[in-house]
A and B are shown apart, each in its own frame.
Chain A
Amino acid sequence: MATPVLDKAEAEGRAASPYITVTFRIRRFNPEVSAEATWQDFQVEIDPRERVLDGLHKIKWDLDGTLTFRRSCAHGICGSDAMRINGKNRLACKTLIKDINPEKPITIEPIKGLTVLKDLVVDMEPFFQAYRDVMPFLITKETNEPTRERLQSPEDRERFDDTTKCILCAACTSSCPVFWNDGQYFGPAAIVNAHRFIFDSRDEAGEERLEILNDKDGVWRCRTTFNCTDACPRGIEVTKAIAEVKRALITRRL
């Protein structure tokens, strides 16, 4: 965008630098050094229009190479860099520094409810186990190989459109207070991904998935605190999806 306005801002920027000093307060844990997790402050000069992930990169590349965190695509698609930024689960690559008050130190912690392995890296295995347990793949009862595409009307596709957006970043599940205290709960992400197939007109195993989520650690443990909906970086209405699974269970069982 080469508008005159932007040029002017840039010209001014030469006199007054857009860079500001931001304090990143990061929760550090290294089991090879200490059993204790501690806070460490880094001061970084950064343009506030950059993202938290850029700040982490500057720290890792220029200040302290031992800082450990996950990130893959760095553009909000892969879901690797969910972390607890200023007490809220977000993707570091979708959070602009100017949006989270850079005047104060920005706290960065690993997501809660999963085992911290090092710094911001957690063991995602229990999260993916819950995901696998809801059978997140198309199941049909046909025995023959399909000879043509499985067609679907736009209305049928629209029914589960919201839950197809999930990138499995675990921001929702690790913001859920029930999951923090009891990892046996499936968690919002697994229910969202079950919802994606339960309400897909092409899938024929909705009943089995509903039965799995009717379990004592299934949808009925949801307390509708809406933490998951607030946390979702993709804007999925997670609590609504869980409520729809509950309603489907009630209407089909009664």
Chain B
Amino acid sequence: MSTTETNASGVSPVEGGYSVDNPAPVIEPPRLRTKKTPRSTRGNFEMYGWLFMRLSGVVLVVLVIGHLLIQLVLDGGVSKIGFAFVAGRWASPWWQVWDLLMLWLAMLHGCNGLRTVINDYAERPNTRLWLKGLLYTATVWTILLGTLVIFTFDPNIR
């Protein structure tokens, strides 16, 4: 049996002057659980969020693939899209509801997905706060603007 340290930088008593009485700081992973970890949330918000992701996902598959087919594939493809085409579609309540539903579900689905990503990866409470603030602002703004356009769309606008 032989030992050869092919890696010369094995643990060796050098840099920093650390000793038994002056050990180096250990690296703690983010947000460790302790006795004081708050047992905060009572209520079913996370459960409804989880369910919403599954249900909206199923509905969105139909809505988005249908949307893409109509817009980009069928009947001349993307070249047919213009003001007149959109105006013609939104003249029917069916397509208004379709687009409205797609807007709300996709925005909330994406917002909740990004919220979980932020919860997973942002370590500092302040980073979390700001990223989520930005996310919610963008989501609310897009949903309101889109809803406004769908309901107040005027095909005779000049």
Contacts and interface: CB of A to CB of B under 8 A. Distances in A.
Contacts, number: 137
Interface in A79-111: none
Given A183-B32, A214-B46, A218-B46, A31 B18 contact: yes
| Prevailing SS type, chain A contact patch | mixed
A34 B24 contact: yes
Nearest to B20: A32
Interface of B: 1-7, 9-16, 18-20, 23-35, 37, 39-42, 44-47, 49-51, 116, 119-121, 123
A116 B26 contact: yes
A117 interface: yes
Contacts of B2: 43, 45
A115 B28 contact: yes
Interface string A176-220: 011011111000000000000000000000000001101111101
Interface stretch (A62-70, A164-172, A226-234): A62-70
A216 B30 CA distance: 17
A43 B40 CA distance: 51
Contact of A41 (B5, B13, B44): B5
Contacts of A32: 18-20, 23-24
Nearest to B22: A32
Contacts of A137: none
Contact of A44 (B1, B13, B14): B1
5 contacts: A28-B11, A32-B23, A35-B25, A129-B34, A214-B44
Q: Which 8 A-B pairs have the closest CB atoms?
A: A35-B24, A40-B10, A31-B23, A220-B46, A31-B24, A183-B32, A126-B33, A63-B3
